[in-house]
Amino acid sequence: MRTPRSLRKVARKTMRTKEAIVLLTWQSLLVLVMLTVAGTVAAAPSAAPAAPPPPEVSVITVHSQSVPFTRDSVGRLAATRIAEVRARVAGILQKRTYTEGTDVPEGKVLFQIDPDQQAAALHAAQAALAKANAEAINATLTAKRYSELHAKKLLAQQDLDTALANERTAAAGVQQAQANVEIARLNLGYATVVTPIAGRAGRATVTEGALVGQGEATALTTIEQIDPIYVNFTLSSAEFSQMSTPSVQSKVEVLLPDGSLYPRTGTLDFADLAVISATGTVALRGVLPNPDHRLLPGMFVKVRLTAGSLDHAFVLPQATVLRDSKGAYALVVVGSGRVEQRRVETRAMTHSDWVVTGSLADGDQVITDGLQKVRLGGEAKAKATR
C-alpha cells in the first residue's frame, strides 16, 4: 500500500512528463512551420533581370557613286633633260665662269680653255687655204693655155688631159683647205665651253689649271633640266590591268617625303608596253611642273595615279573595313536594328578612305564607331554621324 509521500512523487513525475510532451509538441510544430515557409519560398519563381538596352553605335549612310580610280606607288624623281658638259678640245682650263648649283640659260659660257693652240691651228689652216687657192688659180690658167694650144694642133691630147686633171685636183684641194679652216674655227670655238641646254649647273669636276681633253672628252660638269621634272614609278601588272588604259589625261600627284601633298599636279607621260619579267610590274612615268625647284632629282616620293573611274563604288572610312579569313567586310545596321555583315572588295584608297565594291546596297547604314560593342546578328541602336 502506497503512502501519501510516494503518491506525491508519482504525481510530480507524471506532471513533468506531460510538460516535456507539451514542449516537444510545440517545438515540432515550430519546425514544421519553418520548413513549410522555407519550401514555399524556395518554390516561388525568382524575378528575371531586365534585358540591357541595345548598344548605341555611330553609322554613316552610304551611297553608290562613280569614284576616280587611283593607285598609289613609290616613285623616284629624275631630270627631264641631262647634258654632260665635256671638253671637246685639248688645253689648259683657264677659268670657270659660272656659280655651281645655279640655274644657267642655254648658251651661257661655263669654262674657258686656253685658246692659243686652237688659234694657231686656225691660222695654219687659213694659210693652207690661201696656198690651195693660188695653186688652183695657176692650174686653171695652165689648163686654159693648154686648151688653146690643143685647138691649134700644137699640143698633144695627153698633155691637155694632164692639165685639166691638175685643175680639178687643185679645186678639190681648195675645198679640203676650206674644210680644214672650218674645223679649226670650230675647235677654237670649243675652247669656250657653253651650256647646250638651260637648267641647273652641277658641281665642276675639274679646277683651273687642269689639262683637259687630252686623248678623251673630259667631263667638266652636268646640266640638269628639272622644270618640268619626271617621276618614274611602277604598278603591278594586276593593278595596271584593273585601270582604264592610262593616257596623257591621267592625273599624277606626289606626296613629299614629309607626307605633305605637292601642290601642283602632273600628267602621265609614258607607260611601257611590256611587263618587267623580273618584278611583274609595268614601268610608268609622269611629268610635273617644278617652277620653284622644290622637287629634286633622286628624291623618293609617293605617287598617286588617277586614271579613269570606278562605277557603282562606295567610299568608306578605313576603320569601318574589317577583315577575316574570308576577306574584307563591313557591319551594317538594318531597319529592325539587327547587325548584319556585308562582304566588300577594296579597290583603291583616297586619302583616309577605302573605295570598295561588293554586297553593299545604296542607303546601307555602315557602323563606324562602336564595332567592339556589337555582334553579328545582335541588336544595335544606330546614331547617324554624317
**Do you know the residue count of the chain?**
386
Amino acid 41: pLDDT: 46
Nearest CA to 295 among 252, 338, 330? 252
CB neighbours of residue 141 within 10 Å: 12
**How many whole angstroms separate alpha carbon 150 and alpha carbon 275?**
78
| pLDDT tens digit at each of 386 positions of the chain | 455 555 565 556 656 655 555 555 555 555 555 655 555 544 445 555 666 788 889 999 999 998 888 888 999 999 999 999 999 999 999 999 999 999 999 999 999 999 999 999 999 999 999 999 999 999 999 999 999 988 888 889 999 899 999 999 999 999 999 999 999 999 999 999 999 999 999 999 999 999 999 988 999 999 999 999 999 999 988 888 777 666 657 889 999 988 899 999 999 989 888 899 899 999 999 999 999 999 999 999 999 988 877 788 899 998 899 999 999 999 999 988 889 999 999 887 776 788 899 899 999 999 999 888 888 888 888 888 75
3-state per-residue secondary structure call for 343-374: EEEEEEEECCEEEEEECCCCCCEEEEECHHHC
**How many whole angstroms separate alpha carbon 272 and alpha carbon 279?**
14
**How many whole angstroms separate alpha carbon 79 and alpha carbon 76?**
10
pTM value is 0.66
**C-alpha 8: how far from chain center:** 122
Amino acid 54: pLDDT: 85
Amino acid 122: pLDDT: 96
Q: Output Rg (C-alpha) for the chain, integer angstroms.
A: 52
**267-270-274-277 Cα dihedral, nearest 10 degrees:** -80
**How many whole angstroms separate alpha carbon 59 and alpha carbon 302?**
32
Amino acid 246: pLDDT: 60
In order of their start, the domains of the chain are 88-221 (2.40.50.100)
Grid cell 679640203 — which residue?
Answer: 176
Strands (E), the chain: 56-61, 65-86, 91-96, 103-104, 109-113, 192-194, 199-201, 211-212, 219-236, 251-255, 266-271, 281-288, 300-317, 322-324, 327-333, 339-350, 353-358, 365-369, 381-384
Cβ neighbors of 294 (< 8 A, separation 6 or more) are 256, 262
Angle between helical axes of 116-151 and 157-190 (0-180°, round to 10): 160
CB neighbours of residue 27 within 10 Å: 10
Cβ atoms of 374 and 339 closer than 8 Å: yes
Amino acid 210: pLDDT: 94
Amino acid 84: pLDDT: 94
**How many whole angstroms separate alpha carbon 39 and alpha carbon 47?**
17
**What does residue 67 show for φ and ψ, rounded to 5 degrees?**
-115, 135
Cβ atoms of 350 and 308 closer than 8 Å: no
Amino acid 43: pLDDT: 46
